[in-house]
Chain A
Amino acid sequence: AQSVTQLDSQVPVFEEAPVELRCNYSSSVSVYLFWYVQYPNQGLQLLLKYLSGSTLVKGINGFEAEFNKSQTSFHLRKPSVHISDTAEYFCAVSEQGAQKLVFGQGTRLTINP
């Protein structure tokens, strides 16, 4: 069965600084990968996803992620963060042929002025 590990539970960053949120997965088959953002008391919003093709995926709000199959990673990056990026970020994986989506533990991104 697949699993997802988000290595950092909290990441504090100053405004306009770059940020990287780390995500590693484990699976014996090919996978699809997702990053979601959750604001307080809200559902999840899709930032980006990797299904196939180019390993560098660009998403909304200036975020991007790179799929690295050899390192089984899908790290999320943004070159310059804003106060409004303060939220919880979840990495998730779905195995090809499976229905369910498995989530990592989440990373709380805090942007300091």
Chain B
Amino acid sequence: GAVVSQHPSWVICKSGTSVKIECRSLDFQATTMFWYRQFPKQSLMLMATSNEGSKATYEQGVEKDKFLINHASLTLSTLTVTSAHPEDSSFYICSARDWDRAGYGYTFGSGTRLTVV
């Protein structure tokens, strides 16, 4: 089945620095990828939808300048958290639309635990 690889799985950074998270589709082309944020014991909150070769569409309330999304190829999308602060600490998960014998679906990466100190 479809596989989405997300790296790093965890990262600790100092307040004020930037962190890049990568999301790759390993065995299929992902024209559309999604970025979610998950707080402890809560559900996934969609941050943005990225389409290859175009600007990402951000959900209401998500700061575009803080969470930079790039989807320059059909297999790679990146999320950069700029000037990170402790309140940005969270679990970030990417997802890609894919197709199997049963039709279309969504495959998720393994997530990135970001801790800003």
A99 lies within 8 A of B97 (CB):
yes
- Number of residues from A at the complex interface, CB < 8 A: 23
* A-side contacts of B91, CB under 8 Å: 41
B43 lies within 8 A of A105 (CB):
yes
Instruction: Given A101-B34, A101-B95, verify A43-B110 contact (CB < 8 Å).
Output: yes
- Counting residue pairs across A and B whose Cβ atoms lie within 8 Å, the total is 54
A102 lies within 8 A of B110 (CB):
no
A51 lies within 8 A of B103 (CB):
yes
User: Is A74 engaged at the interface, CB distance under 8 Å to the other chain?
Assistant: no
Chain B residues at the A interface, C-beta cutoff of 8 Å: 4, 6, 32, 34, 42-44, 46, 49, 91, 93, 95, 97, 102-111, 113
Chain A residues at the B interface, C-beta cutoff of 8 Å: 32, 34, 36, 41-46, 49, 51-52, 90, 92, 94, 99-106
